[in-house]
Structure 1
């Protein structure tokens, strides 16, 4: 880990620059600013950067070594955060003792820096693995990857391995499986009426949505890893009116593809028939991230990462998490995939988000040596 330890100060300088740029998923200007900085860094190393333009969200980047022909190792790291514009100015990058703070410091701007320096290490050591790597830096992971999912799936068709740079868990574990998930919108149309003058003429859209909310929430089976939750409801224009419109926003999490199919069927069934005569229901959405299951390919890659960790004196644990990430896409397409390859962090997505600074050399070493080990295995 000597290389990464010696370069930790410069890694932190770049991290400070990135953290102090607002790059919320819907703030294109900020995401693209991060992308331009990282593009410049990679181009200085002799990498090509293919900018995939987006009109609304930030641009996605496809990066690979100039001599890469048919790379088989895909690395994925997102540039966006969950924080709105102005957060970086209000809560800029700081380091206190061994922890760094700031919006997106762990999820995943430290991962961006670690990935870049892993490439620098491989370049300086003239490691042939560089020619076997393709990198996607995407702009919209935090909102479900609407523009980058297709790009990730396209690249997944030509690779055999995927390493995803979400931060390691608080105990240092990498992520070997994730729940899948999706979002639905349930829109109910009723009939408006004055609640004092002619309430009998009205048909309450909120009442109908209440029936649907209860039925949908009852689909949850937490022991099996199934969660269905109506998290936001909207409806009504005035307290003295029978509401003619109501909207419910539904979050769904599942452990397996079989559960995904079954829950989708049940949600459609519930919303196909109104409980309150005279109302109509429109259902939109679906499962937008398949589950990442610990299948045989993923298990083999996990074992390789753990063996690499052992050579570095690191005991690499693995864990399952309910949150979604881009790792689901290559895994679902049959690519051996492991997530959580970034540095260690915690309290993600809130003002207490932190990074364990001293984990950057460890995780940089683990990433670089894992890439090298995969390449050696792939070359045999």
Structure 2
């Protein structure tokens, strides 16, 4: 009971710090609190500094010693500065609420206390891990991707601390994805006086949107969504500029290659003569697929769960995460090892408080078993 109270106290402290991906000051404050906790147990800290985003943090008991297990957890949230002032951490009944409470402030605390449990036993398994606390997962891990991949290359296992699903399931497979920005330049003209002199960037973008949407295949798990568009200066002016933001989701490496090729092909040639097209971005996360290595790791985690009285299911989810980086380097990877909750990225985001100690124990025992 005291441990749960301590954990909730630290979760409250972290949730009440705005740490949106673009708010460096807040992300670094979260890092500082966690770094101090790990230092008390003798861990060595390496800070990978960033100018624009929060710093990434690597935590290891002995940086010169090889470890088998990589654990990844992110400190950023999707919520902008000022959100905490509007709706700070609260507890209602059996649930805790607040911005980032389940994605993933509670996972950060679960991870810390799992390591504390091993440290206090003492169980030397805590010396067999390397932890990455990254600052930019919610925006595609632009600064932390290479760091995760570099450290993954020497690991046997990767445990990703995204939250468990609402029914308690962990995540054994995820879709991959990426984002593109399609920019079109045309030629402005007055729509009443000389429309024939103009080249509509919006019209060109419309042609491309229709072709891109035709790439969708729900049965195969391919999703292309032009989710935002902008363009034009005035209603009586043929628009000289337009832009579309494209979200891509795929379920296999083969689909990644196919979709990339098709998008580039569609955007290579304008439909409206005299317009110019620029395509930026790409697929930055390949899928987490349930291959043989991941199946073996999943069975280990489920066996540990069974030994402590938890019935643990595994699911496939459409969202992406840092799990794709180690998994696609051949590292056995499992995701969703944080506590149980729901409402991710929404005002009603919540943590199931009862799951804190349960998932903390599950993580600690999994680390011990893998060591």
Pair 276,94 (structure 1): closer, same or farther in 2 beyond 3 Å:
same
Off by >4 Å, runs of 4+ in structure 1: none
If the length of structure 2 is used for normalisation, what is the TM-score? 0.99
> Aligned equivalents of 1:171 and 1:365: distance in 2?
18
CA distance in structure 2 between the aligned counterparts of 1:16 and 1:46, rounded to whole angstroms:
25
Q: 1:24 aligns with which of 20, 23, 26?
A: 20
Deviations 1:36-65 (A, max 9, x none): 000001101111111111111000000011
* Residue 371 of structure 1: aligned partner: 367
Paired position in structure 1 for 2:304 = 308
Partner of 1:348, secondary structure, is coil
Q: Distance in 1 between matches of 2:73 and 2:296?
A: 22
1:1-380 matches, within 5 Å, as: 5-66=1-62, 69-375=65-371
Where does the alignment leave 5 or more consecutive residues of structure 1 unmatched?
376-380
Deviation by residue 1:58-93 (Cα, 9 ceiling, x = unmatched): 000000114871011000000000000011111010
Number of matched pairs:
371
CA distance in 1, matches of 2:247, 2:62: 42
Instruction: Report deviation, 1:177.
Output: 0.4
Distance in 1 between the 2:63 and 2:158 partners?
Answer: 20
SS at match of 1:69: coil
Q: Tell me by how many angstroms 1:6 deviates.
A: 3.9
Q: CA deviation at 1:122?
A: 0.2
CA contact (8 A) 2:224 2:248 kept: yes
Whether contact under 8 Å (2:339, 2:355) holds in the other structure is yes
CA distance in 2, matches of 1:187, 1:85: 29
In 2 relative to 1, CA 68–305 (structure 1 residues): closer, same or farther, beyond 3 Å?
A: farther
Task: Give the superposed CA RMSD.
Answer: 0.8
Task: Tell me if the contact between 2:44 and 2:63 (Cα under 8 Å) persists in the aligned partners.
Answer: no
Cα drift, residue 359 of structure 1: 0.3
For residue 128 of structure 1, report the CA deviation from its aligned partner.
Answer: 1.6
TM-score, structure 1 as length reference: 0.97
Partners in 2 of 1:66 and 1:185 — Cα distance?
A: 43
Q: Structure 2: any 5+ residue segments left out of the alignment?
A: none
Q: Secondary structure at the match of 1:114?
A: helix
Within 2, Cα distance between the matches of 1:233 and 1:94?
A: 37
Structure 1: distance between partners of 2:64 and 2:293: 24
Give the whole-Å Cα distance in 1 for the aligned partners of 2:324 and 2:99.
25
